[in-house]
Amino acid sequence: CNFLHHQNGKLDIFQILIYWICLTFTQTAAKLLSTDMRLQSIRDSFFELLFSDLPLLIEGDIALDSEAERNADPCTSRGCLWRKNTDGKVYIPYYITNHFCEEKSIITRGLESFSSFSCIRFRPSRSNDHEWLNIESQNGCWSYVGRRGGKQVVSLARRGCLYHGTVQHELLHALGFNHEQTRSDRDNHIKVLLQNVHNFRKIATLNQGTSYDYNSVMQYHKYAFSKNNQPTMVPIPNANVSFGNAKEMSRTDIARLNTLYKCCE
């Protein structure tokens, strides 16, 4: 009360008013900050839950279970082939989840295409199967390389992945194939422009005695993973060669598949 009876009473009341406004603003800001922090916590928890089951992805669509696999080709570091039956065929069980509706026909067409040019036979899974491809619509298009055992996810997102060539591409990963631009001899056929892209790893791939194939369904286009909208790969010696536009498996893709799985023996 004495504070209000100072000689300059008007100034004291004004100071109190300012103090009250500042106090109210501070308390309100604290509440807003607390709310924002709670929202951020909820948002973080949501994304953690949303992506917690996703594997580590390299090169855009190759799934790994751990960092230890990053610099190894599973088909050279361990056995990755699917087993061949006594009749000479390789039967691979698959299950298409209910994520898909009419798009199933695109997936089925891709699965069935292998039987027309190889000994690979994709068949619907059964209750007694111990390993199978679980085809799901997760975030993006991706697959593990080679047989992993048990439930093995192949992701074909409903938005952006349901094309015949893309289905074949991811299935070839599951059969044990890497990207064309990671071949051990790739530097003889393409120049990777490191200033425009994070480095494409080069690994000891199983090339099956075949030449580099610009028309392979496993070859990415010239702007793949560009960080500045500039080309990331240029063919050599002829920079004008078209590549990375395959709509389906090439003859070389088919030849490699048949060689890897000894389909002609």
User: What span, in angstroms and rounded, lies between the C-alpha atoms of 165 and 171?
Assistant: 10
Q: Enumerate the β-bridge partners of residue 115.
A: none
Longest dimension (CA), the chain: 109
Which residue in the list 69, 112, 131, 170 is annotated as catalytic? Answer: 170
229 phi, psi to nearest 5 deg: 65, 20
Instruction: List Cβ neighbours of 23 (8 Å cut-off, separation of 6 or more).
Output: none
- Is 170 catalytic? The answer is yes
User: What span, in angstroms and rounded, lies between the C-alpha atoms of 1 and 204?
Assistant: 86
Output the CA torsion sign for 186, 254, 119, 208. negative
* 99 φ/ψ sector (left φ>0, alpha ψ -120 to 50, else beta): alpha
Is residue 169 annotated as involved in ligand binding? yes
Torsion angle of C-alpha atoms 219, 220, 223, 224, degrees rounded to 10: -140
- Residue the block writes with tokens 């839950």: 49
For residue 237, cis peptide bond before it (omega within 30 degrees of 0):
yes
Is residue 189 annotated as involved in ligand binding? no
User: What span, in angstroms and rounded, lies between the C-alpha atoms of 171 and 177?
Assistant: 9
Integer-rounded Cα Rg, in Å, for the chain is 28
Is residue 5 annotated as involved in ligand binding? no
Cβ count near 216 (within 10 Å): 25
Known binding-site positions for Zn(2+): 169, 173, 179
Active site residues: 170
Known binding-site positions: 169, 173, 179
